[in-house]
Structure 1
Amino acid sequence: MLLRTLLAHPHARVRARALVHLTHRHDIGWNEALPLLTDPAKEVSRAARGALWAARSEVTVAQLVALTASGEPPERRSLAMQLLARSFEPAALLTALRLLDDPLPAVRAAARDDARRVLWDRTAAGGPYAEEIRALAERHHERLTVWLAETRRRNRALRNR
């Protein structure tokens, strides 16, 4: 209980440490940590990011898709897109394909990482979103293949070190 009251402390370091302790004790949930992601203090937002990663099992794909909306703060949008990249549901892939032209670089990068999946996952273009996924994949096909080739080159270079 005391740690939760420290989340509103005026000093950023105190808020960040309380958040870290709550995360490690599994006492903080997604909805409690989400507002702290946009905290102006970098150490608090970094701790909130860690807490949200730890609590990612509490959030659904639909909630993550809602967090990628253009009205949301950039920190939330990029985190939501990164978490969606870990989901192999068609709704997550469709969101990634839609956000390939997003004005925020962090959102674009996370979307690009997930959207490349359409090139190798045969089941990705199935289900209720099949037509839109195929249309967006076709529209971005050249970019996706270049990104995939760059990733493979980078991975080979890392292995050969």
Structure 2
Amino acid sequence: MINSSVSLFEIPEDFFMVMSKLKVLNLSNMQRLSLPSSLDFLTNLQTLCLDYSEIKDVAIIGTLRKLKVLSLQGSNIKELPTEMGQLTQLRLLDLSNCGQLEFIVSNVISKLSQLEELYIKGCCIQWKVDVLKELKHLSQLTSLEIDIEDNKMLLKDFLFQRA
């Protein structure tokens, strides 16, 4: 496990090319604006923590198809891009306290069909009804934390059915 608690730590672009067996990566508090392109060589990565990092573009994470846990808590991302829908094995997604997170692209959440835990509190998301409706497609979801400031966004049929 790599922990970049020292903010001056620089990761070379080719750093992860020889680490294909790596399963857990903690890059919390990373002061870099983008992830190294060699991240897509981590074909067996199951857990990725980028908590409180300066990362703005997380599209490359979509190449990590075996990822089960993704924590972006307190990071500087502005949107959850289309590429994140490729993380079909994801069980936990933590977007808590991402103060700059404004958009979740349509048809991303519904593709995360294995999701059990989803945390999206403390964000400034401009919710769209169609994105909220996608939550109903997450049949494995057991834990949900979400902030919705506009009560009009909550549809009367928004209640989840018990299995």
Q: TM-score range by the shorter chain?
A: 0.3 to 0.5
Larger radius of gyration between Structure 1 and Structure 2:
1
Larger helix share, 1 or 2: 1
Larger strand share, 1 or 2: 2
TM-score (normalised: structure 1): 0.41
